[in-house]
Structure 1
């Protein structure tokens, strides 16, 4: 018998204590501006090595992202390959199931040694913010779970997915391959940024499809000689390759219809992605390539021009979560059940910390 989505929620909430329920219509709009991300800075990056395994996770710092090709119009009339293979939904959770947020706290001190985590309120994946925005806008179309753990001055927001593997069933993956130059041996490039959203400060991690640069260097497969360990308390290994620097970020997507990929707006907003490239195709044959700035995407989506009410409520939701996550010795969980449209906030009993002990000791001593 196939596993029901509700079974996933029930299993997660087993041995938990309900603290409260959260309702979208109870969220207020603050007086201060929540329409911009202020004090934005790229502070770190890494790529997952293609040699990574759950028992042997390896990241490359700062890593090498794919690079957008210069002549996008040359892709017109190209035939894309349909992809129906399984792929990893969240590499961070797949390779580091118990400590998926660890790479952020390991990577940033190497890429940006002067960065101070003591000034941060939330450390999260962009995916979590997109799910909470959908809840605030009453546009959530599936159940989701986000876990929380307080570590010193900041709160980890931990992404959960029902499955580790999923099927794309589209031409999107091949469009990413033909529209960018890919480094062999590298996969899943992550950027880590910091910004202020309203009166709250975030460190946000997200996957980057490609960047707009022309200095791509292909890497050979002999870099394992330089593999290092962060700590004897961590399973994660790393390789230093290159120097970190900010990049122009590009999101890639393909569409067979004339509809606009509306969900890409939030994806771009919460990471300050610069461009969206859309490959329009018919039966897999590309017939039009669009390259749009974030401002152009916002202009096309008329309902995104006045976002203060929506983003203000999201800011209020983040404040509510911050008030509820009080105990550093506990893991909390926000569970949205699509079947009955309920949002429950719970404390999980006997849940292991989401960071290795050495990082908990480092960031819990208030001397960050």
Structure 2
């Protein structure tokens, strides 16, 4: 069962925020107290990684590699243009498959099916934690995270209004700069993005965390 979790502070929520919502289960408020214990990050472990490969069917290279920093001489780059990914995992997997699937495929491949998922409290993308952090610090932007439970583990799925966009007008130089400043790693010439998966202990929770890496 999927339970959407969202910040309802904005009255101009995008349509995807409330699409297919069930009944309200619980309303959360950000805690404002100086007495809260300091939260520490510990036990960081590399678990797996993969690179998306440009293909008509969802294809990843495991362990893959991020692009390599080329240390090129300074030069001017063009503004971003064309189609750029907002959430490549959702874009590649399509509307009928979970964008979390590549996490488990990569882990099962590297750990030969022996990884102990039952020890995890939470599986999530970095993006979801960033949204929650902004929420607890008073940011009023509306967002949605879909939540499922598998045993005692919560699975957080990123939910965006769209998973890619066609750049119209000036939106910065980030993507073109990345192309100019990095080169493909050997064997990853068709890669379109690299993701790392780590486990961390945070506030008493064992978290499996996925995030994108632009270059190394």
Q: Which has the higher helix share?
A: 1
Asked whether the equivalents of residues 120 and 201 of structure 1 are also in contact (C-alpha less than 8 Å), the reply is yes
Q: Give the equivalent residue in structure 1 for 2:160.
A: 161
TM-superposition CA deviations, 1:247-271 (whole Å, max 9, x none): xxxxxxxxxxxxxxxxxxxxxxxxx
Asked whether the equivalents of residues 149 and 156 of structure 1 are also in contact (C-alpha less than 8 Å), the reply is yes
Q: Give the equivalent residue in structure 2 for 1:17.
A: 23
Give the direction of change, closer, same or farther, for the CA distance of 1:40–1:84 in structure 2 (3 Å limit): same
Q: Give the equivalent residue in structure 2 for 1:60.
A: 61
Using the alignment, how far apart are the partners of 2:155 and 2:195 within structure 1? 17
Q: How many equivalent residue pairs?
A: 196
SS at match of 1:20: coil
Q: After TM superposition, list the pairs within 5 Å mapping 1:247-262 onto structure 2.
A: none
Task: Give the alignment partner of residue 43 of structure 2, picking from 35, 39, 42.
Answer: 39
Q: Which runs of 5+ in 1 are unaligned?
A: 212-368
SS at match of 1:115: coil
Q: Give the equivalent residue in structure 2 for 1:75.
A: 73
Pairwise CA distance, 1:29: 5.7
Q: Which runs of 5+ in 2 are unaligned?
A: 1-11
Pairwise CA distance, 1:26: 6.0
Give the direction of change, closer, same or farther, for the CA distance of 1:29–1:95 in structure 2 (3 Å limit): farther
What's the C-alpha RMSD, in Å, of the aligned pairs? Answer: 2.1
Larger RCO (CA within 8 A; separation ≥ 6): 2
Task: Give the alignment partner of residue 87 of structure 1, picking from 80, 84, 87.
Answer: 84
TM-superposition CA deviations, 1:259-289 (whole Å, max 9, x none): xxxxxxxxxxxxxxxxxxxxxxxxxxxxxxx
Pairwise CA distance, 1:170: 1.2
Q: Give the equivalent residue in structure 1 for 2:132.
A: 132
Asked whether the equivalents of residues 84 and 170 of structure 1 are also in contact (C-alpha less than 8 Å), the reply is no
Q: After TM superposition, list the pairs within 5 Å mapping 1:198-213 onto structure 2.
A: 198-211=203-216
- If you compute each CA radius of gyration, which structure gives the higher value, 1 or 2? 1
TM-superposition CA deviations, 1:26-51 (whole Å, max 9, x none): 688643x413x211011101111111
Asked whether the equivalents of residues 65 and 194 of structure 2 are also in contact (C-alpha less than 8 Å), the reply is yes
Pairwise CA distance, 1:64: 2.2
Using the alignment, how far apart are the partners of 1:209 and 1:28 within structure 2? 37
Give the direction of change, closer, same or farther, for the CA distance of 1:27–1:105 in structure 2 (3 Å limit): farther
The TM-score, its normalising length taken from structure 2, stands at: 0.82
TM-superposition CA deviations, 1:118-138 (whole Å, max 9, x none): 111000011000000000111
Q: After TM superposition, list the pairs within 5 Å mapping 1:101-250 onto structure 2.
A: 101-113=100-112, 114-140=114-140, 142-166=141-165, 167=167, 169-182=171-184, 183-211=188-216
Give the direction of change, closer, same or farther, for the CA distance of 1:112–1:145 in structure 2 (3 Å limit): same
TM-superposition CA deviations, 1:223-255 (whole Å, max 9, x none): xxxxxxxxxxxxxxxxxxxxxxxxxxxxxxxxx
